[in-house]
Structure 1
Amino acid sequence: MSLQYLPAVKPSAIALGTVFNHTFELGVLSPLFGKTWQKAKSANTKEEFLKSREASSAAAAWGSALVGSALQSYGVGALINATGTLSYKGAAYLGALIFAATSAPGFISQLVVEHRAFDQVGLNVLAKLFETVGLSVFLSWWGTRTIPFGSGGTPLSRNSFRAE
C-alpha cells in the first residue's frame, strides 16, 4: 500500500490536534489513573508497582488513547481538507456529523438499553463533543492544508483560472 494516496495534513495540525484530543480523552480515563495512583502509593517498591496489573493496564490505556487521538486528528484534518471546509461554522457542522455518525448511537444505547446513569453518559457525551466538534473547529483555526488555497500551487487557486 502506498501512502501517496492518503490526503496530506499539516504535521503541526496532527500534533496539536493529538494534544487537544488527548486532553479530553484523559478526562474520561481519569478513574483508571486514580486507581493506578492509589496502587502506586501502596506499593512497597517501584518494581512491585511496575509489575502490577494496574500499571500495565494504565500504560496500555494511555498509549492506545494517544494513538487513537493522533489517528482521529489526522482523519478530521483530512476530512476538513477533502471537503474544502474553510469556516468555523462549516467545521462545527463537520464535527457534528462525525459525532452523529460515530458516537451518538452508542450513547443512545447506553441510556435506553443499558440504563446507565444520565450524568455518566452526559459527561462522556460532552467529552466526545469536544473531541469531534471542538477538534474540527480547533483544526480549522490552526489550519490543516500543507499548501494553502490561493498559493498558486492548487487547482482551486485564483491563478489557475486566469487566461494567460
Structure 2
Amino acid sequence: MSHKYFPAVSPSSIAVGTLFSQSAALITLVPALGSAYERAKEAETPEKLLKSNHSADELMLWSSSLVSSAARSYAVSVLLQCTGTVTKKGAASLGLLLFAVSSAQSLLLGIFRYKRPLEHVILIGAGNLFDTVGLSMVLNWWGTRPPLV
C-alpha cells in the first residue's frame, strides 16, 4: 500500500494530540500508576523491579496506549482536515460523533449487560467524552495542515 493514500497532516498536530490524549488517559490510569509507585518503593533494586511481571504489564499498557493515542490523533486530524472543519462548534460536533461511534456501545453494555455501577459507567463515559471532544477541539485550535514547503 502506498503512502499517497494517507493524507498529510502536520507532525506537530500528532504530537499535540498524543500529549492531550495521554493527559486525558492519565486521569483513568491514576490507580494503576499509584500501585506501580508503591511497588517501586518496595523493590530493593531497580533490576528486581524491572524483572517483575507487573512492571512488564504496565510498560506494555503504557506503550500500547501511546501508540493508540498517536493513531487516534492522526485519524482525528485527517477527519478535521478532510471535512474542512474550522469552527469550534464543528470540532465539538465531530468529537461528539466520534464519542457516539466509539464509546456508546460499551457504555450501554456496562449498564445493561454487565450491571456495572452507574457511577463507574458515568466516570468512564465522561473520560471518553473529554478525550474525543477535547481532542478534536484541541487539534482544531492547533491546526492540522502540514506546512506547504
TM (normalized to structure 2)?
0.94
**Structure 2 unaligned residues grouped into runs of 5+:** none
| Residue 7 (structure 1) aligns with | 7
Deviations 1:64-95 (A, max 9, x none): 11111100000000000111111110010001
1:106 equivalent in alignment to 2:106: yes
**Structure 1 unaligned residues grouped into runs of 5+:** 149-164
| Residue 17 (structure 1) aligns with | 17
Distance in 2 between the 1:35 and 1:129 partners? 26
| Residue 82 (structure 2) aligns with | 82
| Correspondence 1:11-160 to 2 at 5 A | 11-146=11-146
Matched AA of 2:26: L
Q: Name the Cα RMSD after superposition.
A: 1.5
Matched AA of 1:131: D
Distance in 2 between the 1:146 and 1:120 partners? 40
Distance in 2 between the 1:54 and 1:38 partners? 12
Distance 1:85 1:45, change over 3 A: same
Larger helix fraction of residues: 2
Matched AA of 1:43: A
Instruction: Determine which structure has more spread, i.e. the larger CA radius of gyration.
Output: 1
Cα shift at 1:147: 5.4
Do 1:35 and 1:54's aligned partners in 2 also have CA atoms closer than 8 Å?
no
Distance in 2 between the 1:114 and 1:73 partners? 30
Distance in 1 between the 2:75 and 2:92 partners? 15
Deviations 1:92-150 (A, max 9, x none): 000100000011110111011111112221111111111111100111111111258xx
Matched AA of 2:81: N
Give me the identity figure in percent. Answer: 44
Between the two structures, name the one with larger relative contact order (CA 8 Å, sep ≥ 6).
2
Matched AA of 2:83: T
Distance in 1 between the 2:4 and 2:27 partners? 35
**When the two structures are aligned, how many residues end up with a matched partner?**
149
Distance in 2 between the 1:24 and 1:124 partners? 11
Distance in 1 between the 2:100 and 2:118 partners? 18
Cα shift at 1:17: 0.6
